[in-house]
Structure 1
Amino acid sequence: MTSDTPARRRARVFSRRRGAPSRARRRLGAAVRMLAALVLAGGVYTAFTPGAFAEDNVQLSAVAREGKALYDTSCISCHGRDGQGVEDRGPSLIGVGSASVEFQVGTGRMPMTRQEAQAEQKPPQFNDAQTEQLGQYIQELGGGPELPDGPLVANLESDPDALARGGELFRVNCTSCHGFGGGGGALSSGKFAPSLSDATAEELYAAMLTGPQNMPVFGDNQLTPEQKKQIITYISVQLQDDKDPGGLFNLGRYGPSTEGMAIFLVGITLLVFTSLWIAGKS
């Protein structure tokens, strides 16, 4: 057996030091691997989500070119070149889709006259053709939700249960803000849910699809296109055709609660005066 001399111990220590990587080298290697992973993830994301960014040299259709001319004269000051947005003026329009443009511009909410808590509905500044051109430009610029083709109201002859199902969906998803009768209601910070009394089927579908103002987005995984059409059918047929859900009288179109309160107050008042009259006579 050979003795463990100091020279041999020093040789073993030197060999271990030379074979094991230093702490600095290990950290540098980890940083390089992390950087490579981030570059790879970013490349995959860019490759599979091209619609999230505006293309500089996108080839526009004839309708979209007309929309770009309107955009450059009426929208660019707030939403910036190619819809990229301007800080403290207007958000980016990349990915909002033609449905959002048709709702906001078609109802006169855009262009806004001034910055306020909520864009209010007013007479639109663009006609239907111009609104479609603006929507097509934004759609081709960055993609996003679009209104479907075909009728947006269910056919009650082929689907007689659509009205009842639409009413149930409306009560579950919409009444907390828009009220039982679609009359609208106040929200926080000066915002409000508008009345649905004069909303068109296209406006209703676009609102559910894009979630304007404080309204949530009802994607197809939450409300299918068929369910959206059923809600629109209920609003169009049951709430907009002079049919008051409260019953006999139209008291704000908020439903039976307002009529019940009115009857209660009137009844109590009559009973009080009748009691006073009887007491005075006796």
Structure 2
Amino acid sequence: MAEGRLRHRGAELVYDDIGTGPLAVYAHGGFVSQAVEDRMGLFGWEPVLAAGRRLVRYDARGHGRSTGEPVDAHYTYAGLADDLLALLDHLDTPGPADGMGSSMGCATVLHAAVRAPHRFSRLVLLIPPTAWTTRAAHARANRASAETIERAGARAWSATRDEGPPPAVVADVPAFPPTPAERVLPSVLRGLALSDLPPPATLAGLHRPALVLAWTGDPGHPLSTAQALAAALPSAQLHVSRSRADVRTWGQRIAAFLSRPPNKN
């Protein structure tokens, strides 16, 4: 595995590059990193590599090993999509890539694909975040969290985050502190508060095969978003997990999906 770095818009984005074959790029969820997701044991990527893919996973701006400045606009979904497209330019591989992302990364991939559909062959969209009708309440909570951090510090915010139980489907997954530095966290939260998924009417024009993977019982990643997203995309299939054992099949499901011809759902 090789580590790479890209300077873009005042940040250094750090990525890991492993495997050979057609390119698949993965964007992680908010407040974590590649390393944290690996320690959580949520998504296994070995089947994707075994399916003959070059897998590039990167730490989002301000997360993990990547740097970032406290600028709200840099952490909107559109701003993060700009980073993803810059990374694809930097990797400079022939043909389109498979775009994969979870939560914030799911939104990043969608915004990038809407802006530059020719850069993507397939989409893998894991645990889509709140969107459209459910987004306003989430945005208010993010703005309040930013104010809490600025007033009382990141530890006070983390304590409130840990008050509620995790979704039953991932109840055994350990929790980790947020990877963005405290000076950046308020901007990350406000940037996400300014964001939403592309409108369903826009997604209807995104003619790329898509696999939407969701789980139940998670207000931050409501099943309603996944269902509406799968309905809006013209070539999407939806799989819903109701147990941790089923979530563990996602790596195989992703590998099988990526192994199909790109013009088929």
Compute the TM-score of the two structures, normalised by the length of structure 2. Answer: 0.23
Higher relative contact order (CA 8 A, sep 6+): 2
More helix by share: 1
Compute the TM-score of the two structures, normalised by the length of structure 1. Answer: 0.22
